[in-house]
Amino acid sequence: MANLKLSPPWIILAKEITELFRNDPLVHIVYDDDKKEVKLYVDDAKKAAALDMILPKTRDFGGVVLTITVVPANPEKAEFEPGDKIWDIAFAGNSAFRYTRYVPGVLAGITYIVFRNTVVQYYTDNLGSMYGLESTLYENIMKDIFADTPMVGIFFCTDLPDATIPLPMPVMPLGGLSNPLGEWP
pLDDT tens for 21-79 read: 988 999 999 999 999 999 999 999 999 999 999 999 999 988 899 999 999 988 788 88
pLDDT confidence of residue 185: 47
Length of the chain: 185
Q: What is the pLDDT of residue 166?
A: 54
pLDDT tens profile 158-182: 887 655 555 555 544 444 445 444 4
> Of 80-84, 94-98, 111-115, which gets the smallest average pLDDT?
80-84
CA 109 to chain centre: 19
pLDDT per residue as tens digits for the range 123-162: 665 556 555 556 677 888 888 888 877 777 888 888 876 5
Residue 176, pLDDT score: 47
pLDDT value, residue 66: 93
Mean pLDDT of the 106-115 span: 81
* pLDDT at residue 4 greater than cutoff 70: no
Provide the pairing of β-strand 37-42 with 64-72: parallel
CA distances from 116 to 35, 43, 59, 133, 182 (A): 32, 23, 25, 15, 48
Would you state the pLDDT for residue 128?
60
Angstrom distance (rounded) from CA 87 to CA 138: 14
User: What would you measure as the largest C-alpha separation in the chain, in angstroms?
Assistant: 85
Report the mean per-residue pLDDT for the chain. Answer: 79
Q: pTM for the whole thing?
A: 0.76
